[in-house]
Chain A
Amino acid sequence: MKILLIAHNTFRECVRDKILYNLVLFGVLIIVSSLILGSITIGDVTQVIINLGLSTLTVFGTLIAIFIGIQLVYKEIDKKTLYSLLAKPVHRYEFLLGKFLGLILTLAVNIAVMVLGIFASIFYLRHSIHSSDIHILLAGILILDELMLVVAIAILFSSFSTPALSALFTFALYAIGHFNTDIRVYGSTSMSFLTKALSQFLYYLLPNFGNFDIISQTAHGGFIASEVYLYSLLYGLVYSACILLFSILVFQRKNFK
């Protein structure tokens, strides 16, 4: 109950934040402009709209997840709003989970609006929605799963670091996570046992954001095997839960000077 109250307040905080409006507006503009791009494209116009729409959703979702995520906890500590909140019967883990869920809720609403925008664009051009278009919705859910992981990472860093450093660390981990498979491939080609072992270790330790990359497949109408989809979904959930657990452990021991 308390977690939900904190989540609700975080959602309200995000909704009243100007950064969110700027990013959402820009995202909607790009989806709308895909209609214009589609009209000058040779071939399947919907492919362009889906591709551009989902890519926009990922990029702006990631920006929101990082920029709001790093500030969520830091701002409460910096402005000391946390002092009065934690003097209420609220556990520190409840606070952290509430903040996390609040931002996830914001991102979910954001994704829902943008996915609806993509569907509207397709309907405008094709005058129909096919059952296979459900892949767009599934892709949206997987993108939310990916953003959940980004938010968890941002919250972890912001629980012990400044916003600037947290943004840097989160971006770095996000970028590295997209090349995670390459690390293993590089390691497997190496003759050194140490390099192999280290690359394997990093492959399993670092988040693999490549797991969530199904945009081009969705755009081209390709089927994603349900076990691959579920594995990716579960991977995001479990990894986020682990990061959040670690954040709670850090946060539990923190002194709010």
Chain B
Amino acid sequence: MPVVVSTHSLSKKFRVGFWKTRTVTALDGLDLEIHRNEIFGYLGPNGAGKSTTLKLLMALIYPCSGHAEILGQPVTDVSNHRILGFLPENPYFYEYLTAEEFLTYYAGLFGFSSYEVRIRVDRFLRLTGIADARKLQLRKFSKGMIQRAGIAQALINDPEIVFLDEPMSGLDPIGRREVRNLILRLKAEGKTVFFSSHILNDIETLCDRVAILNRGRLVGAGLLKDLISKQVSHVEIIISGMGIDQLRQVLEPAVSVSQVGTTMKIEVDADTNLNPLVSAIECAKGKIISVNPVRQTMEDYFLKVIQGGTNNPPRHQ
């Protein structure tokens, strides 16, 4: 798959404090590649540098070092924006405009004819479910409706690459499902979607590849299926016909045993040889109901790489 977005040693530092003498590293040598027609999830705790990355890609801020490219062109090339869509985090739009006026204004910036503008505005008002509120000023919109208007403006030019910063923020469960379906539909239409989120379930459901950022550094990246299913974290064995004391007598003391209703649950490491354990249970007249290898979830992986990255050097210099 061809690379459509790439960053090379991208770094950004901000001067802070009254005299602007201290610097904070928001992004530290980021190397990323996003391929055509993939849904790329960008994860990280608050302040990790996700929004900074998106602002750098949109040329809203400039890097201190390194560079970023979209379709081989530097991100500062505004003509690239014809094929981009961007939804900022917690968007806030012109509250004195109605939803229709707002989208008409933004569609006009792409140079579409007035007929084309009308068609597109109508289409995206419907697609995002705010067609009924088209004549309502944005100041009267709820947070979820603003988010929908934000998604509509990001898609108004039918972009090839869509950048969504926390697109599920402020949406109710129905809205979240709609946005999830919309993202999948964008992929089906051949578009590339880059979206940042805190919500691991959304990332797990939608993304082909993910990158995890912590304290401005990339701490993990790869195909989602590799990250969350390759490693079996432990094995769970469910047993019936034995009490917890009886079970502890036949097992080694290090093995974790717990009672779940009328059954017993044993958790052993993934690399444990199960044959002696199974034989011991069968000899003690226990009945093995199931043996389940438990794979790593996105949350497990996320926590592992984030906690592994907490020993990073301090960012204040």
Contacts and interface: CB of A to CB of B under 8 A. Distances in A.
Interface of A: 1-2, 5, 9, 12-13, 16-17, 79-91, 253, 255-257
Contacts of B96: 12-13, 16-17
A5 B109 contact: yes
Given A12-B97, A16-B96, A83 B58 contact: yes
B106 A84 contact: yes
A84 B78 contact: no
B120 to A, nearest CB: 13
A16 B138 CA distance: 13
Nearest to A14: B96
Contacts of A256: 55, 60-61
Interface in B12-64: 14, 55, 58-62
B109 A89 contact: yes
Given A5-B108, A84-B91, A256-B55, A89 B62 contact: no
B121 interface: no
9 contacts: A81-B93, A83-B58, A83-B91, A86-B60, A87-B60, A87-B81, A88-B110, A90-B109, A257-B61
A89 B81 CA distance: 5
Contacts of A79: 92
A99 to B, nearest CB: 13
A116 to B, nearest CB: 26
Nearest to B109: A88
Contact of A84 (B59, B88, B108, B110): B88
Given A80-B92, A83-B58, A256-B55, A88 B106 contact: yes
A88 B94 contact: no
A255 B109 contact: no
Contacts of B14: 255, 257
Given A88-B157, A255-B62, 16 more contacts: A5-B108, A9-B97, A12-B101, A17-B96, A80-B91, A83-B86, A83-B88, A84-B86, A85-B109, A86-B60, A87-B58, A87-B85, A87-B163, A89-B81, A253-B62, A255-B60
Contacts of A1: 111
A86 B81 CA distance: 9
Contacts of A81: 92-94
Contacts of B110: 88-89
Contact of B60 (A9, A13, A17, A83): A83
A97 to B, nearest CB: 14
A84 B60 contact: no
Contact of B61 (A5, A13, A16, A255): A255
Contacts of B58: 83, 86-87
Of all A-B residue pairs in the complex, the 9 with the closest CB atoms, nearest first, are: A87-B86, A255-B61, A83-B88, A89-B81, A16-B96, A88-B109, A256-B60, A79-B92, A87-B58
B8 interface: no
A89 B85 CA distance: 10
A12 B96 CA distance: 8
A84 B105 contact: no
Contacts of B7: none
B93 A89 contact: no
Nearest to A87: B86
Contacts of A5: 105, 108-109
A251 to B, nearest CB: 12
Interface in B101-129: 101, 105-106, 108-111
B91 A89 contact: no
Contacts of A9: 94, 97, 105
B60 A89 contact: no
B196 interface: no
A246 B59 CA distance: 20
Nearest to B137: A16
B79 interface: yes
A79 B94 CA distance: 9
B82 interface: yes
B105 to A, nearest CB: 5
A89 B94 contact: no
Most B C-beta atoms less than 10 A away, residue of A13, A87, A253, A257: A87
B53 to A, nearest CB: 14
A83 B85 CA distance: 12
Given A2-B109, A12-B97, A255-B61, A87 B84 contact: yes
A80 B88 CA distance: 9
A138 B91 CA distance: 45
A89 B150 contact: no
